[in-house]
Structure 1
Amino acid sequence: MTDAPIRLHGLGKRFGPVTVLRDINLDIHPGEVLGILGENGAGKSTLLKLISGVYQPSVGQIEIDGRRYDRLDPIRARQLGIAMIPQEFNLVPTLSVYENVYLGQELRRKGWLNHKQMREETARVLASLDCDLDPRAPIAALSVAEKQMVEVARVLVNDARVVILDEPTTVLTDREVEVLFKVVRALQKRGVAVLFISHKLKEVKNLCQRLLILRDGSPVELCDTANLDEEAMARKMVGRELSQVYPDKGQPQTEVALSVAGLSVAGQIDDVSFDLRRGEILGLSGLVGSGRTEIAEAIMGLRQRSAGAIHMNGKACDIRSPSDAHQQGLAYLSEDRQGRGLVMNFNLIENMTLLSLQRYVTGLISHRRERERAEHYQQAFNIRAASLKSPVGQLSGGNQQKVYLAKLLDIEPSILMLDEPTRGIDVGTKREIYRLIRQLADEGRAVLVISSELEEIIGLCDRVLVVREGRIAAELSDAQINEEDIMLYAAGARERTPAGVHS
C-alpha cells in the first residue's frame, strides 16, 4: 500500500468537560475504503467532522502531505481534497438540484454565473449515478433518496482525494445502493480514499478493506476486514455478547384501535383498508415508493385524502392535521427526524415537550416539571448527552431518535405510527428501541411500523401488510412473514390474497 497522504496524530475532541473522542492515530491510504464502526455515540461522526473541518480538535493534529494542521475549516479541508457527505442532509430546499450541487463552488464565465454549464455538469454526474433527476428540480420536491443522490453529486463534481460517507445507504433502494457502491469502487481506481460509516455490517464486510472500531470515544481495534466476520464486528462494537436482537412477539388484543377503510390520496394511494388492534405491532412493508409513508401521512392529516374513513376506538375521526391526530391520541414518527421530527438547535428538554407544552403551563411554563419529565425519559431510554440543555444536533443519530420517541410519548398516544424507527442506528441501540416498541404494545398501545429492512419487519411485527403501487398487496401473519413471501408480493410476482391464504 502506498504512503499515506493523510495522517491523524493523537486526535481528540471535548465538548465542555465531556471527552467524546480520544487517542486517534490513523493513516489514510489512497484507493482504500476504510470502514469506521461503533455504536451510536462512539465518536464516529465526530471523527469524520474533525477530518472534514466541521469540528476543530481539542488535542492532536491532522497531517496532510507532510504538513501538520492543528485545525481545519470546511473550506480549507475541501481545498485540500477532503469532501464529506453528511448523515443528515445539508441542502437548501428553496434552490434547485444543480444550484445545490454547485453551492459554494459555482462555475463562472466572464464573472457571471455559468448556469448552463452547471446544469450540464450536474446532469452528467447524475447520469453516472444512474439517476434521471432534472437538474432544475427544486430540492423541496425531492424524496429522501433523491436528496441523498444530490449529496453524492456535490462530492463528485470535485476532484476529491478523500471522500467521507456517513451512513450513505440508509435512505437508498437496493438498486441505488448498488449504483453507489459502483461509484465508490470507481473512486478507488482513481486513487481516492473513502471513509465509510454504516451500521449495516454486511455492507462494511463487502466494501471495506480495513476497519477502525470505536467504543465510547476510544479506538478498540484497527484491522483488515477479512479478519472479522459480522458477529465479531458487532461484539467489538458493543464490548459484550449480544443477546437476542428482537424481543419475543406478543399477543394482540381483539379490540380494534385504528380502522382505515377505503383510504385514497389522488395519484398516490388507492382504496387502502386495514385494522390495527391494541397490543399489536403491525408492519407496513414494500419497495421504496410503494406508498407506505403516504398511507401514514394520509392518516395523520399530512396529505389530503380524496376518499376513505378513519375510525379510532370505534368512533369516526375527521383528521385534517397532525394536531387533530394528536388530540385523538395518534402520534407519528417521521422517517426524516431532522427535517420533520426534531429542532436541531433546541435542547433535549425543549424537544421532548414541544408537542405537549400545554400540560406544563399553569399560568407560566413550569420548567421544573419539564426537566423532571425529560430526566425520566433520559433515564428510561438511556439517552447519552452531556446535558439536558445540550442542543439535539450535538447528539448521535441513535440518541436523537430516542429524544424523538420521548417527544411523541409525552402526548400519551394510544396509537403510534413509526416510519423507519431505526434508520442509521447501531445494532445495540436498535435492540433497545425494539424492546421499547414491544413494551409499548404490551402496555396495550397499537403500533404501526414502516420499515425498509425486511429483517426488522420479520423479527418485530405480529402481522404484515405488503404495499405495492399504493395498494395493499397482501396481509401476512405467522409463518407467512418471511422474506420470500414479502418480496414476491412487493415486486408483483404474486397476486393479492386474503389474510392467511397463499396463492
Structure 2
Amino acid sequence: MENKTLLQMRGIDKHFGATHALKGIDLTLERGEVLGLIGENGAGKSTIIKILSGAYGMDAGEILIDGVPVNIGNPRASQALGISTIYQELTLFPDLNAVDNILAGREICRDGTGSSLISPLDRQRMRKEARQILTEELGIDIDLTVPVRQLSLAEKQLVEIARSLHSQAQIIIMDEPTEALESQERERLFAITDRMRLSGRAVIYVSHLLDELVKVCDKVMVMRDGANVATQPVSEVSVETIISKMIGRDLGQKYADKTPPSGEVILRANRLGVNGRFDDVSFELQKGEILGFAGLDGAGKQDVVRAIYGVVPFNMGDISVDGKSLTAGSISGAKAAGVGLMPADRKTEGLFLDKSLEWNITIAESTKSRSSSLRLSDLKASAGAYMRSMSIRARSVDQSVGDLSGGNQQKAMLARWLQTKPKVLVLEEPTRGVDIKSKAEIYRQVVDAAAAGTSFIVVSADSPELLGLCHRILVMHSGRVAAELDASTTDAETIAYYSVQTTGEHR
C-alpha cells in the first residue's frame, strides 16, 4: 500500500556563520496536499527550499521520502528524487521554445539513433508530449513555436510547471507563483494547483499573499526567526492569526492614512502613445498624489510609466514635469527633471547585489551630487539613518545587499530614491515578494513622502494594494485608459471589470 506521507523533514538545522537560519525544523507533506509556507523575509523559507532543491546542505537532521531516508547532495539528486522547484525568478532558456524548455535534459531521440549529443531529435514526439501536458494536465494552449522570451509572464510560468510535470516530479515547490500575475491568471494557476493535488502530487506553496494561502492550501506552516511556530489546517486559521504568529504580535493598521494631494499639477501626459504598445493616454498628477495604474499584463501600463522615465521612447504626445517638457527616450532628462523609477525586478534592474547596503542607498544621490561638497561621511550617515528609519535588517551599512532578504532589499531600493527627494517617483510592483511587515513599512514611507510633497505613480497587479495606497487609479485595457477611479469609493471587482473592456459602466 502506497505511503500517504510523501515527505518528512526532521530536526533540520542550518547555520550561516553566526546566523542560525533554521532551528530544528519539522515538516510533513502528504500526497495530494498543498502546504502553505509563510513567514517574514529572513524567516527561513528560502533556506528550506534550497535544502530540498539541493542548493544547500543541512547541518543536522534528516529527510525522508516515502519513509526512506535520502541524501539531497545537489540539484540533480533532488530532481532524481522527484522534487521540482519553480522559483520566483524563472529558470527557462529564453531563446528556446516551450517544447525544448519542457523536455530540457529529457529530449527524445529518433528510434535507433541512440541518445548522444549528436543524435537527431524526434521533434514530432517531443511536440506531442509537450502538447499533451499543456492541454490534458494543465488545460491551456500556448504557442509552441516561438522563443519563450516572446511569451507572457503567465505563459512562461506555465511552461515551468509543465517542465516539472514532465519530469514526473511528485513534490513541487512553488515560490511566490502569483506575485506578478493578474487576477484571471491567478485563478488559472489555482485551478492547476487543484489538478496537481487531485493527481496525488504534493505542493509546497510559498507566498506572502495570505488570502491566497488560505484559499489554495490545505495546511499552513508559519515560520519566524528560523523556527516553525505553527502548522495548522487552513480551516483553523485566519489571515489575522497568521500575521500575529509571523511577527509575534498584531500588525495594526496596514495602510497609513493618506494626506489629500495639494491640487497643484506636477506632471501632465497629453495624448501619449508608442506605436503598437499604447495610444492616446492623457492624465495629470498632482503634487503629493499617489496615482495607481491597473490592467492586465500587456495592457500598456508598464510601457506608459517607463515612457515617463525615458526607458520607452514615446512617438506621440508629450509629457511635462513642473511645466518643462521631457525628451522622449531620455532617462537622463527625466532624472534631471526630478523623475525616478523603482523597477519591479530588483535583482536584475534595481540593485547592485555585490555592493554594500550603503552603496546601493547612496549611489543615486552621490551621482547627483558629484560636483557638490557632499562628503562620503555624510552619505554613510544618511544610509545609516535610512537603515534605521525604514527598519532595514542588516548587520551594518557595509553588508552586501545581495545577502539581505527580499523585503530588506526592496526597502533599500526605495530608500535610494527617497534620498534624492524626487518630484515624481514611479514604483513598479513595490511590494512584490515582500512580507506583510515590510509591506506595511513601505506603504508608510510612501504615504509620508507624499505628504511631504513627492508624487507617486504605482503600477501593481495587486488590486487591494492599489485601493489601500492610492488616491486615484487609472485602469488600462488594450493600450488605452479604460477608467479613472477614486480609490476611496471603488473596489477590486470594478478594477477587474474595466481591465477586460473599454466601454460601458460597471454597476
TM-score by length of 1: 0.90
Distance in 1 between residues matched to 2:133 and 2:478, nearest whole Å: 29
Q: Is the 8 A contact 1:238 1:428 kept in 2?
A: yes
Q: Map 1:290-301 onto structure 2 (within 5 A).
A: 290-301=299-310
Distance 1:468 1:357, change over 3 A: same
Q: Letter of the 1:406 partner, please give it.
A: A
Q: 1:122 aligns with which of 120, 130, 146?
A: 130
Q: Is the 8 A contact 1:148 1:171 kept in 2?
A: no
Q: Is the 8 A contact 1:98 1:135 kept in 2?
A: yes
Aligned position for 1:281: 290
Cα distance, 1:115 vs. partner? 6.2
Distance 1:359 1:69, change over 3 A: farther
Cα distance, 1:312 vs. partner? 0.6
Cα distance, 1:303 vs. partner? 1.7
Distance in 2 between residues matched to 1:206 and 1:348, nearest whole Å: 37
Distance in 2 between residues matched to 1:389 and 1:479, nearest whole Å: 42
Distance 1:153 1:367, change over 3 A: farther
Q: Is the 8 A contact 1:265 1:306 kept in 2?
A: yes
Q: Is the 8 A contact 1:14 1:58 kept in 2?
A: yes
For the residue of structure 2 that corresponds to 1:13, the secondary structure is strand
For the residue of structure 2 that corresponds to 1:240, the secondary structure is coil
Q: Is the 8 A contact 1:463 1:481 kept in 2?
A: no
Cα distance, 1:94 vs. partner? 3.7
Distance in 1 between residues matched to 2:383 and 2:138, nearest whole Å: 44
Distance in 1 between residues matched to 2:371 and 2:59, nearest whole Å: 44
Cα distance, 1:270 vs. partner? 0.8
Cα distance, 1:341 vs. partner? 2.0
Aligned position for 1:84: 85
Cα distance, 1:357 vs. partner? 4.9
Q: Is the 8 A contact 2:471 2:488 kept in 1?
A: no
1:460 lines up with 2:469 in the alignment: yes
For the residue of structure 1 that corresponds to 2:5, the secondary structure is coil
Distance 1:483 1:360, change over 3 A: closer
Distance in 2 between residues matched to 1:336 and 1:254, nearest whole Å: 32
1:327 lines up with 2:336 in the alignment: yes
Distance 1:382 1:255, change over 3 A: same
Q: 2:427 aligns with which of 409, 413, 418?
A: 418
For the residue of structure 2 that corresponds to 1:242, the secondary structure is coil
- Between Structure 1 and Structure 2, how many residues are aligned? 497
Which stretch shows the higher mean deviation, 38-47 or 409-418?
A: 409-418
1:143 lines up with 2:152 in the alignment: yes
Q: Is the 8 A contact 1:61 1:71 kept in 2?
A: no
For the residue of structure 1 that corresponds to 2:230, the secondary structure is strand
Distance in 1 between residues matched to 2:172 and 2:285, nearest whole Å: 45
The one-character-per-residue Cα deviations of 1:136-178 (angstroms, maximum 9, x if unpaired) are 3223333333332232222121111111011111122333223
Q: Letter of the 2:88 partner, please give it.
A: Q
The one-character-per-residue Cα deviations of 1:280-314 (angstroms, maximum 9, x if unpaired) are 11111223332111111122222221201111111
Q: Is the 8 A contact 2:315 2:328 kept in 1?
A: no
Q: Is the 8 A contact 2:261 2:289 kept in 1?
A: yes
Distance 1:320 1:144, change over 3 A: same
Aligned position for 2:261: 252
Aligned position for 1:499: none
Aligned position for 1:57: 58
Cα distance, 1:443 vs. partner? 1.1
Gaps of 5+ in 1: 497-501
Distance in 2 between residues matched to 1:300 and 1:215, nearest whole Å: 39
Aligned position for 2:274: 265
Q: 1:187 aligns with which of 183, 189, 196?
A: 196
Q: Letter of the 1:211 partner, please give it.
A: V
Aligned position for 1:198: 207
Q: Letter of the 2:172 partner, please give it.
A: V
1:406 lines up with 2:407 in the alignment: no
Cα distance, 1:119 vs. partner? 3.8
For the residue of structure 2 that corresponds to 1:22, the secondary structure is strand
Which stretch shows the higher mean deviation, 4-13 or 372-381?
A: 372-381
Cα distance, 1:353 vs. partner? 4.0
Distance in 2 between residues matched to 1:31 and 1:170, nearest whole Å: 24
1:341 lines up with 2:350 in the alignment: yes
Distance 1:306 1:459, change over 3 A: same
Aligned position for 1:469: 478
The one-character-per-residue Cα deviations of 1:79-133 (angstroms, maximum 9, x if unpaired) are 0011111122223334433333334444444222626144443333333434443
Distance in 1 between residues matched to 2:364 and 2:151, nearest whole Å: 27
Which stretch shows the higher mean deviation, 472-481 or 199-208?
A: 472-481
1:235 lines up with 2:244 in the alignment: yes
For the residue of structure 2 that corresponds to 1:7, the secondary structure is strand
Distance in 1 between residues matched to 2:64 and 2:275, nearest whole Å: 56
Q: Letter of the 2:461 partner, please give it.
A: S
Distance 1:27 1:481, change over 3 A: closer
Which stretch shows the higher mean deviation, 269-278 or 136-145?
A: 136-145
Distance 1:179 1:465, change over 3 A: closer
For the residue of structure 1 that corresponds to 2:261, the secondary structure is coil
1:48 lines up with 2:55 in the alignment: no
Q: Is the 8 A contact 1:8 1:63 kept in 2?
A: yes
For the residue of structure 1 that corresponds to 2:229, the secondary structure is strand
Q: Map 1:104-115 onto structure 2 (within 5 A).
A: 104-109=105-110, 110=114, 111=116, 112=119, 114=121
Which stretch shows the higher mean deviation, 317-326 or 17-26?
A: 317-326
- Percent identity (aligned): 38
Q: Is the 8 A contact 2:477 2:502 kept in 1?
A: no
